[in-house]
Chains A and B, each alone.
Chain A
Amino acid sequence: MTRILIIGATSAIAKATARRWASEGHELYLVGRDMDHLHEMAGDLRVRGAQSVQCAALDVNDFAQHAAVIDAAAGALGRLDVALIAHGTLGDQKACEHDFQAALQELNTNAISVISLLTHLSNRFEAQRHGSMVVLGSVAGDRGRQSNYVYGTAKSAVATFLQGMRNRLHKSGVQVLTIKPGFVDTPMTAAFDKKGPLWSSPDAIAKEILRGIAKRRDVVYAPWFWWGVMAIIRSIPERIFKRLSL
């Protein structure tokens, strides 16, 4: 039985992953902003077979609370085997271009809060010499594009941070897994027209997350074909890329 902390638990991908974990009978600790939503989700996960489910409220931008929430989770679960960080916002790029406060808010939510949480978690995992830290990144972090570069910057910063942390924790036997989903049909992407072969379901990503943990992978593109898509996009010379509207 695995003891799992999920931060940003009500996000669609986290929810789908939690359902898979619940059906395997694990112990879950859910952290999110909306306590009503967390309680409803906890009820769902118990019916699905979770050994136990506990909840705690946290606004991830309240950095001062991070240590206390992680301590509480570890205390409640007894130990942490897996930590999944899944919160995020797909902000309004246009608003961020005109108002730095909006951009700062995006960067805080999607990058700084994650770095803060990882700092606390990594010390705990490094000391226990065991476990997996899993973070939801995005293919958007692989190359800056005009349509969402503030979001992409945050995801890119987290990816680089995770590379270094993976390097540091390797000798302690701790897995650091970066998940890079492509287009996922979730409430976060409600504004998009979601038809076409590039869109996948939260559950498809959840399946990749479980497989990535089981296989002790480092970076997982989800679904796998995004590795190829992003390899091509990364390889386009900047001289040409700057003229494109991807």
Chain B
Amino acid sequence: MELHGWGRYPRQEAHVAEPLSKQQCMRAVSSALPLIARGKGRSYGDSALSPQVLSTRYLDQFHDFDPETGALSCAAGVSLDDILRTFVPRGWFLPVMPGTRFITVGGAIASDVHGKNHHRDGTFSAHVSSILILLGNGECVSASPSDKAELFYATCGGMGLTGVIVSAVLRLKAITASDILETRIKAPCLDAVIEAFDANAASAYSVAWIDCMARRTNLGRSILVMGEQCTEGPLVTQRAKALGIPAEMPSGLLNSTVAKMFNAAYYGRTRSDAQKSRKSFESFISPLDAITGWSSLYGRSGFLQYQFVLPKESGVYGLREILKQIGQSKLGAFLAVLKLFGDANASPLSFPMKGYSLAVDFKAEAATFELLEVLDGIVAAHGGRLYLAKDARMSEAMFKAGYPRWQEFEEVRARWHAHGKFMSTQSRRLGLA
């Protein structure tokens, strides 16, 4: 069947195995052909594409939950949405949530996803106690920070290239209310938003919507959105009445004029004083989940999400350069997301590092690829890197420059029998064995 990631670019014919049990997973892995595990297909590019794919859709069971400690043991195909709907009413929350709830635990670990609280709580894997991994030699082993640590750290952020994540133990966070108290600050330019990030480093959640179409004195104008977990109120999940995008839309719909108007309107409608409002955690953390299939808005050709991080010291200069380049290009860029990350972790391929991360969507077209080559140059020059879960196009050189621990990652893969067994279209492009 034809598969694609969330960005709908690229597309690839694949044979998809849908094992019902750990035993069937083992059988799939022991076949001669290399494969890659795939959860909900929410990584944007080609990291869950391969001629042979192992879908974890039926590995979706909870195994055990300890209400004393919040330790949840579950299979890799369990979705974050399922965890939230089951546990929020009982007063437990995911310690790290990315911008969508519709990903699996296995995918969250393999991409080492982050959320709006990265500066305080780190990535998803910081809250994983142990992982059960099916290795290339057919063995199933448990790894944790204290046992087979190198395998554990390589698997977190390892894009499924160390083995198939079969199950994991997570630590949920106790909460007394599920709503989030949101504060918004309007920042008229890049320096203002950078300052605002520093001034509000103590807030639990923080992210900025940045207008990439704004130029000159407005360059980098943003709305900084911050949140604190409410301590009183209901413990609820909303089964949102999702607005659906029925089909792939004509791709001319999201052009640069529309983007300019949309961004200006979004910036304009926020009042300039800090305003507090109570939000459901869904609408605060994953607002786009309310529109199922929003990625179809970009049409059949799909889109690319470009997400990079630049080290904090020199990051602002690089950021300004990149915003100028985007503004000068005639490409439409809708609301982009800026975040100040906390420190990097011990995983060799984990994306976040102390610094500024920007994520921008572009339609997949020739001009976009040209622009992104230019942006790659700026990112590399400032010692930054691109997020593998979003990537569909970066060069091998760009990858190896951004992830200098790639050789260490390859050594761990070699020691744990992954070479020749686990491979994605992305891993081949990036020159991983």
Q: Contact residues of A with B, CB < 8 Å?
A: 23, 36-37, 40-41, 43-44, 47-49, 187, 190, 193
Q: A43 near B64 (CB under 8 angstroms)? A: yes
Report the separation of the CA atoms of residues A190 and B74 in the bound assembly, to the nearest whole angstrom. Answer: 24
Q: Contact residues of B with A, CB < 8 Å?
A: 1, 18, 20-21, 58, 61-65, 72, 74, 86
Q: A44 near B18 (CB under 8 angstroms)? A: no
Q: B63 near A47 (CB under 8 angstroms)? A: yes
Report the separation of the CA atoms of residues A145 and B111 in the bound assembly, to the nearest whole angstrom. Answer: 47
Q: Pick the contact of B18: A40, A43, A187 (CB < 8 A).
A: A187
Q: How far is the CB of B101 from chain A (nearest CB, A)?
A: 16
Report the separation of the CA atoms of residues A40 and B61 in the bound assembly, to the nearest whole angstrom. Answer: 8
User: Chain B residues with Cβ under 8 A from A44's Cβ?
Assistant: 61-63
Report the separation of the CA atoms of residues A40 and B1 in the bound assembly, to the nearest whole angstrom. Answer: 30
Q: A48 near B62 (CB under 8 angstroms)? A: yes
Instruction: Name the residue on A nearest B58 (C-beta).
Output: A187
**Total cross-chain contacts (CB, 8 A):** 30
User: Chain A residues with Cβ under 8 A from B74's Cβ?
Assistant: 47
Q: B18 near A190 (CB under 8 angstroms)? A: yes
Q: Pick the contact of A43: B21, B61, B72, B86 (CB < 8 A).
A: B61
Instruction: Name the residue on B nearest A23 (C-beta).
Output: B86
Q: Pick the contact of B86: A37, A47, A190 (CB < 8 A).
A: A47
Q: How far is the CB of B72 from chain A (nearest CB, A)?
A: 8
Q: A43 near B63 (CB under 8 angstroms)? A: yes
Report the separation of the CA atoms of residues A190 and B20 in the bound assembly, to the nearest whole angstrom. Answer: 12
Report the separation of the CA atoms of residues A44 and B77 in the bound assembly, to the nearest whole angstrom. Answer: 13
Q: A187 near B20 (CB under 8 angstroms)? A: yes
Q: How far is the CB of A25 from chain B (nearest CB, A)?
A: 12
Instruction: Name the residue on A nearest B60 (C-beta).
Output: A44
Q: How far is the CB of A190 from chain B (nearest CB, A)?
A: 6
Among A41, A44, A49, the one with the most B-chain Cβ atoms within 10 Å of its Cβ is A44
User: Chain A residues with Cβ under 8 A from B21's Cβ?
Assistant: 36-37, 40
Q: A47 near B20 (CB under 8 angstroms)? A: no
User: Chain B residues with Cβ under 8 A from A41's Cβ?
Assistant: 61
Q: How far is the CB of B385 from chain A (nearest CB, A)?
A: 36
User: Chain A residues with Cβ under 8 A from B64's Cβ?
Assistant: 43, 47
Known: A37-B21, A187-B20, A190-B18. A47 touches B62 (CB 8 A): yes
Q: How far is the CB of A49 from chain B (nearest CB, A)?
A: 8
Q: How far is the CB of B237 from chain A (nearest CB, A)?
A: 12
Q: B62 near A193 (CB under 8 angstroms)? A: no
Q: How far is the CB of A201 from chain B (nearest CB, A)?
A: 11
Q: How far is the CB of B89 from chain A (nearest CB, A)?
A: 9
Q: A48 near B86 (CB under 8 angstroms)? A: yes
Report the separation of the CA atoms of residues A36 and B22 in the bound assembly, to the nearest whole angstrom. Answer: 11
Report the separation of the CA atoms of residues A49 and B63 in the bound assembly, to the nearest whole angstrom. Answer: 12
User: Chain A residues with Cβ under 8 A from B61's Cβ?
Assistant: 40-41, 43-44
List 16 contacting pairs A-B, 8 Å CB cutoff, sorted by A: A40-B21, A40-B63, A41-B61, A43-B61, A44-B61, A44-B63, A47-B63, A47-B64, A47-B72, A47-B74, A47-B86, A48-B62, A49-B86, A187-B18, A190-B18, A193-B1
User: Chain B residues with Cβ under 8 A from A40's Cβ?
Assistant: 21, 61, 63
User: Chain B residues with Cβ under 8 A from A36's Cβ?
Assistant: 21
Q: How far is the CB of A13 from chain B (nearest CB, A)?
A: 13
Report the separation of the CA atoms of residues A32 and B285 in the bound assembly, to the nearest whole angstrom. Answer: 40
Q: How far is the CB of B426 from chain A (nearest CB, A)?
A: 24
Report the separation of the CA atoms of residues A48 and B18 in the bound assembly, to the nearest whole angstrom. Answer: 24
Report the separation of the CA atoms of residues A40 and B166 in the bound assembly, to the nearest whole angstrom. Answer: 14
Report the separation of the CA atoms of residues A137 and B336 in the bound assembly, to the nearest whole angstrom. Answer: 50
User: Chain B residues with Cβ under 8 A from A190's Cβ?
Assistant: 18
User: Chain B residues with Cβ under 8 A from A43's Cβ?
Assistant: 61-64
Q: How far is the CB of B244 from chain A (nearest CB, A)?
A: 11
Instruction: Name the residue on A nearest B1 (C-beta).
Output: A193
User: Chain A residues with Cβ under 8 A from B18's Cβ?
Assistant: 187, 190
Instruction: Name the residue on A nearest B63 (C-beta).
Output: A43
Report the separation of the CA atoms of residues A44 and B72 in the bound assembly, to the nearest whole angstrom. Answer: 11
User: Chain B residues with Cβ under 8 A from A193's Cβ?
Assistant: 1
List the 5 closest pairs (A to B, CB-CB), nearest first: A47-B62, A44-B61, A47-B65, A44-B62, A43-B63
User: Chain A residues with Cβ under 8 A from B86's Cβ?
Assistant: 23, 47-49
User: Chain A residues with Cβ under 8 A from B63's Cβ?
Assistant: 40, 43-44, 47
Report the separation of the CA atoms of residues A44 and B65 in the bound assembly, to the nearest whole angstrom. Answer: 10
Report the separation of the CA atoms of residues A44 and B21 in the bound assembly, to the nearest whole angstrom. Answer: 14
Given contacts A36-B21, A40-B63, A43-B64, 12 further A-B contacts (CB under 8 A): A37-B21, A43-B61, A44-B62, A44-B63, A47-B62, A47-B64, A47-B65, A47-B72, A48-B62, A48-B86, A187-B58, A193-B1
Report the separation of the CA atoms of residues A156 and B324 in the bound assembly, to the nearest whole angstrom. Answer: 68
